[in-house]
Structure formats: structure tokens, C-alpha cells
Amino acid sequence: MTTQDIIKPENLVYTKTSIMNDRNMHYCPGCSHGVVHKLIGEVIEEMGIKETVIGIAPVGCAVFAYNYLDIDWQEAAHGRAPAIATAISRLLPENCVFTYQGDGDLAAIGTAETIHACNRGENIVIFFINNAIYGMTGGQMAPTTLEGMKTATCPYGRDVKLNGFPLKISDLLAQLDGTCYVTRQSVHTVPAIRKSKKAIRKAFENAMAKKGTSVVEFVSTCNSGWKMTPHQANMWMEENMFKKYPLGDLKDK
């Protein structure tokens, strides 16, 4: 049997979700954003909730998330996505609202919006990409940048005396009574991706069941910002990021 004989619609086992359109994504080669976008699209398709989902895009690399997933979107000011999601969720309680935010957006400039949306138990899903760096602006220090890690604004490595400590914001959010589900995942291997997809599904199911705020953190790579190949970045993440940001559920009620 030749390869051409195998390539028939009835034999298809994996392809791009129909929620993701044909536009080429602007992300750097190997960027974790693409995998997470894809998983969100797959879950929306599988749950059949395309018409009820409204996404809030952040400021940062994922600002153009609205270009790729075929759902209604709002583009937020930097850090304000949870406030926007709050209003939409309150005004359209039957819709399923999610934010998609990076570490700078969620854990620096938008800390207040994040914490208070979670504390109110807004019926929303927060997807949080933590790659420990500001990608869009050219690789500056993020609140989650590891101690000693070099970035454009801490070129000699993050000095905690100067810049404070890496912020484990998901741990903080898990302490709040309004969150129903806080988990930390990654998308660097097939098993990790399968777990992430389950987490995304659970978060959306929580929103549909009006259980409160779900937060799914993805410990991610920014191989361009980290100045590594995509594969090296995955290895470096396993060795360094997972120590500070261990994977697993922080809260599931």
C-alpha cells in the first residue's frame, strides 16, 4: 500500500480543527501559542459551543488571536481582558466567555483585573500563557521571569533584589474563593498536550455549568525571546521552568 493509497478522507485521524481558519499565524516558528490556539479550537469544535463562545484577546503576542479562531472576539487593552470578560459574561450569561492572556498582561499590568474577576467568581475561563518573557515588545522581563534568567531589561539575569521574585500568580488565584478550577499545564509533548486539552475542556464545562472562574496556566516557551531553538527551549523549560512552576491541578472544586 502506497502513501497515496492511505491519504483518503476515510483514513484521516488528525487535522487542523475547523474552528481555526486558513490564515497563517504570525507567531515565531515553534511558539507554544499555536498549540494552545489549536487546542482551544479543537475543544470548542468538539463541545459544539462555537456559537456561544466569545474570546477576549490580550495585548502581547496573542493580540492577533482573533485572526485565527473563527469565533466572535473582543480585543482588550493591556491587562484588561478579565474586566471585559466580566461584563460580557454578566450581560450574556448564556454565553461562554474566555480570556487569553500572557504573563505581562495577566500578572503585571492586569493583576488587579485578574484577581478581582477571579475573586468575584466571574463565570469565565482564563487561559494564561506563561513563557516568562515579553515576546511582542522584544523579550523584556516579565513578572514570571525566573531568577537569574536573562532578558532585554535584565541582561545580567533577574536580580530579585532589584526586580523582586518570579510571581506564581496561579497559586495566588487558587487561594481565592471565586475560582473553581486552577491548573498548570504545558504543551511541549504529546502527553502534556493531551492533558492540556482535558484541562481546557474542563474549564469550558465549568463555565457552561456556571461554576465560577477557571484558570488554565500553560507553562510555555518563547524560543525567540529565550534565544534557543524550539526543541532546546522545550528542554530548558523542563529543566528550569517546571521547578518554579510545577505542573498539575492547584485547585479543582
Partner 1 sequence: MAKIKGAVVVNTERCKGCALCIEACPSDVLGMSKEVNTKGYNFVYMQNEDACIGCASCGYVCPDACISVYKVKI
Partner 2 sequence: MEEIRLMKGNEAIAEAAIRYGCDGYFGYPITPQSEIMETLMELQPWKTTGMVVLQAESEVSAINMVYGGAGCGKSVMTSSSSPGVSLKQEGISYIACAELPCLIVNVMRGGPGLGTIQPSQADYFQAVKGGGHGDYRLIVLAPSSVQEMADFVALGFDLAFKYRTPSMIIADGIIGQMMEKVILPPYRPRRTNDEIRQQCPWATLGKPDNRERNVTTSLALEAEEMERTNLRLQAKYKEICENEVRFEAVNCDDADFVLIAFGSIARVCMSAMEIGRKEGLKIGVLRPITLYPFPTLKIQELAKKAKGILTVELSAGQMVEDVRLAVNGSIPVEFYGRMGGVVPTPEEVLEQLKKQLVK
Between 25 and 228, name the residue whose CB sits nearer to partner 2: 25
What does 193 bind: partner 1, partner 2, none (CB cut-off 5 to 8 Å by kind)? partner 1
Q: Per the structure block, which three cell numbers stand in for 122?
A: 466571574
107 lies in the binding site for partner 2 (CB under 8 A): no
| Sites of contact with partner 1 (CB under 8 A) | 1, 3, 5-8, 11-17, 20, 24-25, 27-35, 37-38, 187-190, 193-194, 229-231, 234
- 78-86, 179-187, 190-198, 203-211 -> range binding partner 2 (CB under 8 A): 78-86
Q: Per the structure block, which three cell numbers stand in for 112?
A: 488587579
d(CA 214, CA 144): 20
Query: What does the H/E/C string look like for 57-120?
Result: ECCCHHHHHHHCECCEEEECCCCCHHHHHHHHHHHCCCCEEEEEEEHHHHHHHCHHHHHHHHHC
Between 70 and 238, name the residue whose CB sits nearer to partner 2: 70
d(CA 198, CA 201): 5
Q: Cβ of residue 171: shortest distance to partner 1, in angstroms?
A: 27
Enumerate residues 6+ apart whose C-beta is below 8 A from 250: 170, 171, 174, 182, 183, 184
Q: Catalogue the long-range contacts made by 63-66 (C-beta closer than 8 Å, 24 or more residues apart).
A: 63/136, 64/25, 64/26, 65/33, 65/37, 65/100
- 66-74, 179-187, 208-216, 239-247 -> range binding partner 2 (CB under 8 A): 66-74
| Torsion angle in degrees (nearest 10) through CA of 118, 124, 130, 133 | -80
Q: Cβ of residue 207: shortest distance to partner 1, in angstroms?
A: 24
Q: Cβ of residue 58: shortest distance to partner 2, in angstroms?
A: 11
Cβ–Cβ < 8 Å for 105, 143: no
Between 97 and 241, name the residue whose CB sits nearer to partner 2: 97
Between 25 and 208, name the residue whose CB sits nearer to partner 1: 25
- Taking CB under 8 A as the criterion, the residue among 34, 45, 47, 95 binding partner 2 is 95
DSSP of 42-57: HHHHHHT-TTTEEEEE
What does 213 bind: partner 1, partner 2, none (CB cut-off 5 to 8 Å by kind)? none
- Taking CB under 8 A as the criterion, the residue among 50, 195, 198, 201 binding partner 2 is 50
- 32-40, 77-85, 139-147, 187-195 -> range binding partner 2 (CB under 8 A): 77-85
Which residues bind to partner 2, rule: CB under 8 A?
50-54, 56-57, 63, 66, 70-77, 80, 83-88, 90-92, 95, 112-113, 116
